[in-house]
Amino acid sequence: MNLLRPSQLMSQTDLEIVVEDPTAPEHDSPSVVISGTVEIVVCLLLLALAATLGYDNWRTGISWDSTGPEPGYFPFYLSTILGGGSLYGLIVALLARRAASETFVTRAQARRVLAVFVPTLLFCLVTQFLGLYVASLLLIASFMRLVGKIALWKSLLTAFLFTAIMFVTFDIAFDVIMPKGPLEAAFGY
Amino acid sequence: MEAFGLLVHGFAVLLTWKTLVLMMVGLVLGIFVGVLPGLGGPNGVAILLPLTFTMDPTSAIVMLSCIYWGALFGGAITSILFNIPGEAWSVATTFDGYPMAQQGRAAEALTAAFTSSFIGSLVAVLLITFLAPMISSFALKFGPPEFFAVYLLTFCSFVGLGREAKHKTVISMSLGLLLAGVGMDTVSGQLRMTFGTAELLRGISFLVAVIGLFGISEILLTMEERLALRGHAASISLRVVLGVWKDLPKYWVTLLRSSFIGCWLGITPGGAIAASFMGYNLAKRFAKDPESFGKGRIEGVFAPETAAHASGTAALLPMLALGIPGSGTAAILLGGLMVWGLNPGPLLFVEHKDFVWGLIASMYLGNVVGLVLVLTTVPIFASILRVPFAAVAPMIVVSCAIGAYAIQNAMFDIWLMLGFGVVGYVFKKIGIPLAPLTLALVLGNRAEDAFRLSMIGAGGDLKVFWSNGLVGSITTLAIVLLFWPVLDRLLGHLTWARR
């Protein structure tokens, strides 16, 4: 595509930076869920949370003793406010449901969000068992290769370099110790 | 001029090689964070916070605040060259900045943006230098009721003045306050809302929440959109810089107006986003030819950038003087203060002079160095955008996890971060604002303590919040602000009826 370029005025802006997105979501992808529905679900969840926390604080004690308000006093009233807010939100969302049907996420978008969410979830799981640095290596290399369709050697090299820099910066230079697994143990860390 | 002497002392603290190097590192990292999609001021600072855990507080705050200035500068680069605001507060900069780049005046637009950013922060830093010590020494007289009233004022003004649906702000804020209360109760030592789990004993760390809410959710949101981009590369020559600077005096009204708007909205929790739009709109309204805005007018870059930076900087004033952050990023810096073992609040100016004045001095120096740095290195930073998002996204995820883990050395926090990421993603999409949640999380415990201490002192009588002129007027103002939308409508009706 040829952009307008009256750039003879200033030669240094001639260069263009173009980044293509091979896996861009289509614009006409069907909607998976509308915002109204999500809002109702969120309000219900918050209402349940408010009820649970409210009950727990009531059990802890919401009245006054000789030293002043009991520990549950402040949070109990906050749970009430949260409950009230979510109830109001629920009613508003239910009333508006018929009129508005704004898309929360389309199918193509949902697929892309999952394409980053699922690897992140797996990354956390691997971190738990194999340590953060191994997980980081696996995440970056596989994400670049599988989602970004970037050449394997580039993916591996980037993943290795980034992980190595992180290790040197945090574990060695700044003494911020990360969770480690059997691999690091084999190297004596 | 006591402030001046202390400022000189602050510069003396600052001018060591170690601090200067940290400053440069902070600025470069900050511009990086500002330019990259999926990272921004608050989460950039939150992720990089663990780097500072082992530093002394002064070096730590200098580096972190420089990351913040860098992020403020960096946001303008992508707005002007690519029409992609790297930060929400640079949206208004795209209105005239991008058209200028299209006309081949990218270098001019960038110079204008950086220069006005510099001017905006400078005005705000001057304000901090002279006002913050006064406010803090005044606040030394505050007791628990006064502090609670100020916290209440902060919370209420968010609800009353925010642009989002009121019930959503209330939900976000009460959720934040509740989460802040999880764990051991600071007054009685009793456990609350832990449901018998050992992991929740520590409480929910505010920083973990921020990393999830802003970092992880931003990755999910960025991924959802198209990632293709097309823009201009630019480098800035000295000739262009001098050309723009020569014309600066012509725009002094715009610059001054935007600085004031920014300072005001930064101190009150209006924030940089509102400031940049307001700066732009007012410049347009007062212009002789408003229709030329949006077509590549340099004033359209000056106005929002000055306001955004003035506001971003001024947000540190209440944080330093009262321990109340004026923005999300300021809230994270406040979280950092607590990690380094400092007690935020008015006593900071008395007990930690080196820290406070070192920080203020670094605001001056950081902005000068930052200006020179961005003017000379724009092409390098613009080319970062050539790096595919598929490489950047997993790196940000890893950095987020490192940041979350480092805070308390807990694996549970990495899972918590992921959970907050999902919450942040959903909340953003259905319009529940995240800023009140962050603020409530960081201030929650202190607000509760202030409330309980005043209640204990007064024997449970709520009238303590009206017991003297000062606390009474703050409390009343808070309640007025809470119901401001209703009052505003009521007043509107009355004046209309009278006509």
DSSP string, B372-433: HHHHHHHHHHHHGGGS-HHHHHHHHHHHHHHHHHHHHT-HHHHHHHHHHHHHHHHHHHTT--
Nearest Cβ partner for B105 among A10, A25, A176: A10
In chain A, which residue's Cα lies nearest the Cα of B406?
Answer: A176
pLDDT 10s digits, B6-47: 788 788 777 788 888 888 888 998 888 888 766 767 777 877
In chain B, which residue's Cα lies nearest the Cα of A69?
Answer: B452
pLDDT band at B123 (very low <50, low <70, confident <90, very high): very high
* Cα–Cα distance, B241 to B254 (Å, whole number): 19
DSSP per position, A115-182: HHHHHHHHHHHHHHHHBHHHHHHHHHHHIIIIIS---HHHHHHHHHHHHHHHIIIIIIIS--PPPB-H
Which of the listed ranges A151-155, B280-284, B437-441, B450-454 does the model predict with the highest average pLDDT? A151-155
Q: Which residues pair with A105 in a beta bridge?
A: A33
pLDDT 10s digits, B186-234: 777 778 877 877 778 788 888 888 888 888 888 888 887 766 666 777 7
Contact B70, B363 (CB under 8 A): no
pLDDT band at A157 (very low <50, low <70, confident <90, very high): very high
Secondary structure of residue A68 in the 3-state scheme: strand
Chain B residues touching A82 at Cβ < 8 A: 171, 174-175, 178
Query: What Å distances lie between residue B104 and B94, B232, B261, CA to CA?
Result: 15, 9, 30
According to DSSP, the β-strands at A68-69 and A103-106 are unpaired
Residues 6+ positions from B428 with CB-CB distance below 8 Å: B217, B221, B434
Nearest Cβ partner for B223 among A57, A112, A158: A112
pLDDT of residue A122: 94
Please compute the mean of the pLDDT values over residues A65-84 and round it to a whole number: 83
Chain center to CA of B48: 15
Q: Is B107 close to A148, i.e. CB distance below 8 A?
A: no
Q: Is A17 close to B82, i.e. CB distance below 8 A?
A: yes
pLDDT of residue B270: 60
Q: Is A144 close to B411, i.e. CB distance below 8 A?
A: no
pLDDT at A13 over 50: no
Closest CA to B141 of B439, B468, B445, B440: B468
**Which pair of tokens denotes residue B459?**
């024997």
Nearest Cβ partner for B107 among A13, A68, A163: A13
* Cα–Cα distance, B377 to B380 (Å, whole number): 6
Q: Which residues pair with B183 in a beta bridge?
A: B192
Mean pLDDT over each residue of chain B, to the nearest integer: 83
pLDDT 10s digits, A118-156: 999 999 999 999 999 999 999 999 999 988 888 899 999
Q: How many CB atoms lie within 10 A of CB B415?
A: 19
Nearest Cβ partner for B104 among A6, A68, A149: A6
pLDDT of residue A10: 38
pLDDT of residue A61: 80
Query: What Å distances lie between residue B358 and B66, B69, B190, B318, B352, CA to CA?
Result: 12, 15, 39, 17, 10
Q: Which residues pair with B192 in a beta bridge?
A: B183
pLDDT of residue B497: 67
pLDDT of residue A84: 93
Closest CA to B362 of B34, B68, B32: B68
pLDDT 10s digits, A41-64: 999 999 999 999 888 888 888 777
**Which pair of tokens denotes residue A76?**
């109990």
Q: Give the best residue of A4, A13, A171 to mutate against chain B (max B CB count within 10 A).
A: A13
pLDDT of residue A2: 36
In chain B, which residue's Cα lies nearest the Cα of A39?
Answer: B430
Closest approach of B495 to chain A, Cα-based (Å): 30
Closest approach of A40 to chain B, Cα-based (Å): 10
pLDDT of residue B492: 80
Nearest Cβ partner for B390 among A6, A10, A144: A144
Q: Is B401 close to A132, i.e. CB distance below 8 A?
A: yes
- Helices vs strands, H then E, count in chain A: 6, 5
**Which pair of tokens denotes residue A85?**
């807010």
pLDDT 10s digits, B353-408: 888 888 888 888 888 888 888 888 887 877 777 778 888 889 889 988 988 898 88
Nearest Cβ partner for B402 among A24, A147, A166: A166
Q: How many CB atoms lie within 10 A of CB B267?
A: 22
Q: Is A176 close to B51, i.e. CB distance below 8 A?
A: yes
pLDDT at A158 over 70: yes
**ipTM of this predicted structure:** 0.86
In chain A, which residue's Cα lies nearest the Cα of B101?
Answer: A13
Q: How many CB atoms lie within 10 A of CB B334?
A: 24
Closest approach of A45 to chain B, Cα-based (Å): 11
Nearest Cβ partner for A148 among B228, B240, B388: B388
Of residues A101 and B204, more confidently modeled: B204
Closest CA to B424 of B239, B216, B171: B216
* Inter-residue long-range contacts of B281-288, CB under 8 Å, 24+ positions, other chains counted: B282/B257, B282/B258, B283/B254, B283/B257, B283/B258, B286/B253, B286/B257
Of residues B459 and B360, more confidently modeled: B360
Q: Between A and B, how many CB-CB pairs are < 8 A?
A: 245
In chain B, which residue's Cα lies nearest the Cα of A11?
Answer: B104
DSSP B174: H
In chain B, which residue's Cα lies nearest the Cα of A180?
Answer: B411
pLDDT of residue B228: 63
Q: Is A113 close to B240, i.e. CB distance below 8 A?
A: no
pLDDT of residue A20: 65
pLDDT 10s digits, A19-32: 666 666 666 777 77
pLDDT of residue B388: 80
Q: Which residues pair with A19 in a beta bridge?
A: B229
* Secondary element (H or E) of residue B191: strand B191-192
In chain A, which residue's Cα lies nearest the Cα of B52?
Answer: A174
**Cα torsion angle, A104, A107, A108, A109, sign:** positive
Kindly report the backbone phi and psi dihedral angles of residue B287, in degrees, each rounded to the nearest multiple of 5, phi listed first.
-75, 155
pTM score, whole prediction: 0.84
Q: Which residues pair with A103 in a beta bridge?
A: A34
Chain B residues touching A117 at Cβ < 8 A: 220, 422
Q: Domain extents for chain B?
A: 1-491
pLDDT of residue B174: 92
Please compute the mean of the pLDDT values over residues B256-274 and round it to a whole number: 80
**Which pair of tokens denotes residue A90?**
């629920």
Q: Is B223 close to A148, i.e. CB distance below 8 A?
A: no
pLDDT band at A12 (very low <50, low <70, confident <90, very high): very low
Please compute the mean of the pLDDT values over residues B266-288 and round it to a whole number: 79
**Which pair of tokens denotes residue B43?**
């989460």
Q: Is B54 close to A176, i.e. CB distance below 8 A?
A: yes
pLDDT at B1 over 60: no
Q: Is B174 close to A162, i.e. CB distance below 8 A?
A: no
Chain B residues touching A90 at Cβ < 8 A: none
